[in-house]
Amino acid sequence: MKKEPLRMCVGCRESFLQTDLWRLVAWKDGVWIDALEKLPGRGTYLCLRTACVERAKKRQSLQRALRCPVPDQIWIGIDQAVAAARVEE
């Protein structure tokens, strides 16, 4: 039986199954939310908990992990996804 890969969230620094996290990628002309997890580039993972997203914003974890600035429209997309998922704690 094949093990599913674990990835660490940049906001809370906890390990989760790769399928439970959102992948963000810094590639060529900006930062992208990689829904299919296939884009090339420097990637990082973020869980969809409100507290985790707020912590990642405050500490600038995404910018540091991706080594580039994260535009406001990406944060808006993440906030909308959190609201839709309604994952709390």
| Contact assessment for residue 31 and residue 66, using Cβ atoms and an 8 Å cutoff | yes
**pLDDT tens digits, residue range 34-77?**
989 899 999 999 998 999 999 999 999 999 999 999 999 999 99
6-85 maps to which CATH number? 3.30.1230.10
Please report, for the chain, the start and end positions of each structural domain, with discontinuous segments joined by +: 6-85
The pLDDT of residue 88 is above 60: no
The pLDDT of residue 87 is above 80: no
End-to-end CA distance of the chain: 32
Q: Which DSSP category does 20 fall into?
A: G
pTM of the model: 0.88
Q: Select from 39, 55, 1 the least CA-distant residue to 78.
A: 55
